[in-house]
A and B are shown apart, each in its own frame.
Chain A
Amino acid sequence: MNISRLRAEVAQVDIPPLTCTKRSGEPYKRFSDIENEIRDVISGDANERSIDDLKSETLVFFIRRHATSDDADIVGHLVTVLGLRTARVIEDNAQGFDSFTFDQIANDVSSKVIEMVFEPAPSRQGEYLEIAFREKVKQWTLNHVEHFKGQPRISQFAEKVESDTGLAAAVTIDSLDGNFSKPEDLAISNEIVESVRRQLPLISNEKHRDAVILRHLQGWPFTSTDDSRPTLCQQFGVSRQTINSWIDKAFGEMRLAMEKQND
């Protein structure tokens, strides 16, 4: 980016530009709506608004600018708002663990957020929080979830499922492998998919449950002649027969649990 243009953009108020660059050499840059919001705050145009209404990226910008001040009140307030949002992202992306592991993931990710916001020297990851906060926290959460794969998971029955929809899912489960070309077929398929989604907690084995999700909700093939296409067999490192058996067991568990609920 040309310095003159950069200068013109920051001339109105003093917004230090981001300093990192992508591998291509393209400089990191905040989105214009974020810079506009920062300017509004600095110029006083946003005086009527509450801190709670500010974008997360704007909050990160101001926390970083106040990090060297001695105004703990302001920083504390900004970090509280950011912390509540961080917690929601973690909750959305770290499901299926026991409470201890869940808490550990929440602790690790929230610590990482603070370390990056208060980093002594700007890094790519830290500055990216001023570009797309939610996406970065989501990425870190999913990375932690990957790390904790294989840890003990919650195995419990779901809330009582509406019997009609539940049985429909159980009875017509084989149809999930079919192609739905007509609109009414698609509607039925969506209904089944939604029903399967609700019943996932009924599956006690994590691998069996993951196989159902990837196969029936995300369309992963068992195998492929195209090496570039990821497959279930590669992902789990087992044969097609084994995965089929896992899925059968998973649906068996779901049926059994629902029958108990319906009795």
Chain B
Amino acid sequence: MTEENNTMIDEVLDEILQTVTDPNHETLTIWINKYPCFRDELASFFSTWAIQKALPKESTIDEDRVANRMVSHALDLMHQRAHQSSKSFARLGDAIVATGQSDDEVAAKCKLDFSIVAKLDRRLIRFESIPQLCILLLSAATNQSPKFIARLLQGGPVQLNPTFKSKKKPVTQVEDFVDAVKSSELTEDVKDEWLQLLSDDQNGKVE
């Protein structure tokens, strides 16, 4: 099964588990008619579910043992992450790299484009002009706290490594978020949403 199909069957099963309480044959047939391409997967899932539902409870789980094992696993992962954060997170790009996502993927999740993410990474956008929503979206997309993301976006601009020697000091242009949106390659609809949001904030329409 392709990844696309895996995602789709996953979504179908999410939908089924939210709406179906009795995995009987009639209900199964309704869902197969709705998603005929997953006939075999649905038949197999419903039969497993129906059998589990019918079986009396003979095996009992050691709840405390499962919970303790989960806590131990969780603390291990937390420790690994804390170690990684303190070691290398100085810029937004570091936080993105640590998630295993590309800048483009994070940009898409945050209604931004590559150019804005790159500017945020190099702190070329004035922090005071960045809407809180942008920080929240970046926080969710990188699994970092909003406070931590805010810290990464503040400070002096990051200079690129000079590839040639110049007598003049390089000038780094810093701009407001609104200008970065206007000059981005976002669709007009998304640009309008950001501009409307920024305008509402300025006019005090949104608390």
A-side residues, CB < 8 A to B, are 2-4, 6-8, 10-12, 14-20, 22-23, 63-65, 67-70, 72, 75-76, 79-84, 86-88, 90-97, 99, 102, 106-107, 110-111, 113-115, 117-122, 124-125, 128, 132, 135-136, 138-139, 142-143, 145-146, 149, 154, 156, 158, 197-198, 200-201, 209-210, 213-214, 217-221, 228-230, 234-235
In the complex where A4-B193, A16-B146, A90-B61 touch, is A228 in contact with B82 (Cβ < 8 A)?
no
B-side residues, CB < 8 A to A, are 7-8, 10-11, 13-14, 17-18, 23-26, 28-29, 32-33, 36, 39, 42-52, 54-64, 66-71, 73-75, 77-78, 81-82, 85, 98-101, 109-111, 131-133, 136-137, 139-146, 148, 190, 193-194, 196-197, 200, 206-207
Pair count A-B, CB < 8 A: 252
A14 touches B14 (CB 8 A): no
A83 touches B47 (CB 8 A): no
Q: Which of A4, A18, A65, A125 contacts B145 (CB 8 A)?
A: A65
Interchain nearest-CB distance for A55 vs B (Å):
15
- CB neighbours (8 Å) of A15 from chain B are 136
Interchain nearest-CB distance for A101 vs B (Å):
9
4 residue pairs, one from A and one from B, having the closest CB atoms = A83-B67, A121-B99, A16-B140, A230-B43
B81 touches A235 (CB 8 A): no
- CB neighbours (8 Å) of A95 from chain B are 52, 55-59
A87 touches B193 (CB 8 A): no
A14 touches B55 (CB 8 A): no
